[in-house]
Amino acid sequence: MHHRRSIDSQQHDYLMESGKEGHFIAKNKFDGHSLAVFTSGGDAQGMNPAVRAIVRMGIYLGCKVYFIHEGYQGLVDGGNSIRQATWASVSGILDD
């Protein structure tokens, strides 16, 4: 089975599936799906790396990933409370 092991998501063909040794998730497997990350604005230790991982994995899998600011109220309000996440939008998140 062909796969490359590179940190850069642009070079992955397959990604190993956690907890399932020998199984792989194909890049763009969920193309056309959407994924939302709800934020409430408060500080929570360890959340920045988690948000970054969710966004980057979602993009790798072909999903459109969105940030929903202010939790469920942001989902109801819409507008500027909903923003599409990109690879670059989480690139400096670990430095915060």
Q: What is the residue-level pLDDT of the chain in tens, covering all 96 positions?
A: 444 444 444 455 566 666 666 677 788 888 999 999 998 877 777 888 999 999 999 999 999 999 999 999 999 999 999 999 999 999 988 776
Strands, sheet with 34-38, edge to edge from the N-terminal-most edge strand = 34-38, 64-68, 82-84
Q: Please say whether the beta carbons of 29 and 61 come within 8 A.
A: yes
Name the 3-class secondary structure at 61: coil
Beta bridge partners of 16: 24
Q: Are strands 24-26 and 14-16 parallel, antiparallel or unpaired?
A: antiparallel
Q: What's the pTM? A: 0.71
In a domain, 51, yes or no: yes
Q: How many domains does the chain have?
A: 1
In a domain, 18, yes or no: no
In a domain, 23, yes or no: no
**Distance from C-alpha of 57 to C-alpha of 62, rounded to nearest angstrom:** 9
In a domain, 72, yes or no: yes
Range of the domain at 73: 28-95
CA-based torsion, 4, 9, 14, 15: positive or negative: positive
| Per-residue pLDDT at 78 | 93
Q: Give the DSSP H or E segment for 26.
A: strand 24-26
